[in-house]
């Protein structure tokens, strides 16, 4: 089972529906957003008793562009020294259309991926992808996870505080990933299919939506109001960071001529080492995680319209491994930076 899920998911997430056909250049242009830090103007207005509730309008279509920029550097010393760097940029264009709003503000929405683009470069190769381009069979197999997203609508149910309660109607995306991925040696059992479906929803679809639907304060807020959210960031099987993110309301600002409440994010982390690693004399020599960010809540639209977060992880792990020459000391240093940006670009 583990190998089946790995074949379908891990290959697709290594670098991790259009109603009209767009040519590659126009599609790419429509997905470009400014990835530099945006500038705003402070508003001289008291911020107090603001209700940070998601309140999209039923039947309106909200278009978001989400970009994730990754910079990874690895330095491994064993019998030989291996160094590698990877720079990647993945962009999604996402449509969110509320279809039902409940009495407590919980809403259901149709979600569609309108476009996906990828640029990735390592020391040895360069990879690019743009949805809508004609692909040969080899490229379709290489980018099956992105191809499966386009033109396959699914649904989400979201509380007014941003908590994503459930995902539904994801079956078409799941089936296209299974059909487009590596050929499986045998037919999937219902249990295997259900597990793959859960992995796709929790590893790909939900994290994308959680960028634009951050869980916000249940209580009304004023300037300097703060709340915490605890979360785990597993780096690998050896190291996990237990993280407390603190969200602080800073005040009103003008962003694209719209009044927004600015929310800053900071993080405090506690590294946690797998006890089994310690038993095997694996040493975590360095383990730091720094996280910062900001969000803009548009008071008229009742939505987050912009967000930018930066995560930087610096680790060094050493131990012994068995090789043909016997036990060998191994040291692995890794630095990972991830910048995530989202922006509401249109409302129809």
Cα–Cα distance for residue pair 146/108, rounded to 1 Å? 24
What was the pLDDT predicted at 11? 33
What was the pLDDT predicted at 20? 38
Is pTM, for the whole model, over 0.85? yes
Q: Which residues of the chain have pLDDT under 50?
A: 1-27
What was the pLDDT predicted at 328? 85
What was the pLDDT predicted at 191? 94
**Crossing angle (nearest 10°) for helices 171-180 and 190-200:** 100
**What confidence tens digit (pLDDT) does each residue in 36-56 have?**
778 899 899 999 999 999 999
What was the pLDDT predicted at 31? 67
Cross-strand pairs, 156: 109, 167
């Amino acid at each position: 089972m583990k190998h089946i899920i790995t074949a379908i998911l891990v290959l697709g997430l290594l670098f991790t529906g259009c109603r009209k056909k767009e040519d590659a250049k126009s599609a790419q242009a429509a997905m470009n957003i400014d990835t530099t830090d945006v500038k705003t103007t402070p508003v001289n207005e008291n911020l107090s008793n603001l209700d940070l509730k998601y309140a999209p309008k039923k039947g309106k279509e909200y278009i978001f562009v989400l970009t994730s920029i990754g910079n990874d550097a690895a330095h491994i010393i064993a019998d030989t020294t291996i160094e590698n760097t990877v720079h990647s940029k993945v962009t999604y264009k996402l449509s969110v259309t509320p279809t039902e709003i409940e009495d407590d503000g919980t809403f259901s929405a149709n979600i569609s991926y309108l476009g996906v683009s990828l640029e990735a470069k390592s020391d040895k190769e360069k990879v690019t992808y743009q949805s809508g381009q004609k692909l040969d069979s080899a490229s379709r197999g290489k980018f099956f996870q992105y191809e499966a997203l386009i033109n396959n609508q699914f649904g989400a149910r979201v509380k007014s505080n941003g908590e994503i309660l459930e995902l539904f109607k994801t079956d078409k995306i799941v089936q296209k990933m299974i059909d487009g991925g590596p050929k499986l040696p045998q037919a999937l059992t219902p249990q295997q299919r259900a597990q793959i479906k859960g992995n796709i929803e929790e590893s790909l679809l939900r994290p994308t939506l959680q960028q634009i639907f951050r869980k916000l304060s249940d209580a009304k807020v004023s300037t300097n109001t703060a709340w915490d959210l605890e979360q785990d960031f597993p780096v690998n099987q050896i190291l996990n960071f237990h993280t407390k993110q603190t969200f602080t309301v800073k005040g009103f600002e003008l962003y694209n001529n719209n009044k927004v409440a600015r929310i800053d994010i900071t993080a405090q982390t506690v590294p946690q080492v797998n006890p089994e690693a310690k038993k095997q004399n694996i040493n975590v020599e360095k383990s730091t995680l720094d996280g910062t960010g900001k969000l803009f809540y548009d008071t008229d639209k009742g939505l987050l319209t912009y967000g930018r977060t930066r995560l930087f992880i610096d680790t060094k792990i050493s131990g012994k491994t068995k090789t043909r020459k016997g036990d060998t000391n191994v040291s692995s240093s890794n630095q990972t930076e991830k910048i995530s940006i989202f922006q509401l670009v249109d409302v129809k």
